[in-house]
Amino acid sequence: MTNPSDYKYVRSHEWLCYVDDDRVRVGITDFAQQAMGDLVFVNLPIVGDMTTAGEPLCDVESVKSVEDIFAPVSGEVTAINEELMDHPELINAAPYDAWIAEISHITDTEELLDAAAYEAVCAEEE
Partner 1 sequence: MELLFERSHSGRSLENIPATTVSEYQLPEQFARRTPLDLPSLAEVDISRHYTELSHHVHGVNCGFYPLGSCTMKYNPKIGEEIAALPNFTQIHPLQPAQTTKGCLEVLGLAQQYLCEITGMDAMSFQPAAGAHGEFTGLLLIKAYHHSRGDGAKRTKVIVPDSAHGTNPASATMNGYTTVNVPSNAEGGVDLDALRAAVGPDTAALMLTNPNTLGIFDKNILEITKIVHDAGGLVYYDGANLNAVMGLVRPGDMGFDVIHLNIHKTFGTPHGGGGPGSGPCGCKAFLAPFLPKDQIKENAEGYCLTQPAQSIGRVRSFYGNFLVVVKALTYILMLGAKGIPEAAQGSVLNANYMKTKLSEVYDVPYDGFCMHEFVLSLEKLKHETGVSALDVAKALMDNGIHPPTMYFPLIVHEALMIEPTETESKETLDRAIQVFMDIYHAATADAESLHQAPRHTTVRRLDETRAARNPVLKYTPDKD
Q: Does 40 bind partner 1 (CB under 8 A)?
A: yes
SS3 105: strand
Q: How far, in Å, are 14, 51, 63, 86 from residue 71 at the CA level?
A: 8, 6, 23, 22
In the bound state with partner 1, the residue whose beta carbon lies nearer, of 53 and 106, is: 53
Say how far apart CA 105 and CA 111 lie, in whole Å. 18
The amino acid at 40: V
Q: Does 88 bind partner 1 (CB under 8 A)?
A: yes
Q: Does 34 bind partner 1 (CB under 8 A)?
A: no
Binding residues with partner 1: total (CB under 8 A): 10
Q: Does 93 bind partner 1 (CB under 8 A)?
A: no
Q: Could you tell me the smallest distance in angstroms from the CB atom of residue 66 to partner 1? A: 7
Q: Could you tell me the smallest distance in angstroms from the CB atom of residue 105 to partner 1? A: 24
Task: For 38-50, give the DSSP string.
Answer: SEEEEE---TT-E
Strands 56-62 and 66-70: antiparallel
Backbone angles phi, psi at 62, to 5 degrees: -115, 180
Q: Does 27 bind partner 1 (CB under 8 A)?
A: no
* Residue in 41, 82, 94, 97 binding partner 1, rule: CB under 8 A: 41
Q: Does 38 bind partner 1 (CB under 8 A)?
A: yes
Give contact residues for partner 1 (rule: CB under 8 A).
Answer: 38, 40-41, 61, 63-66, 88-89
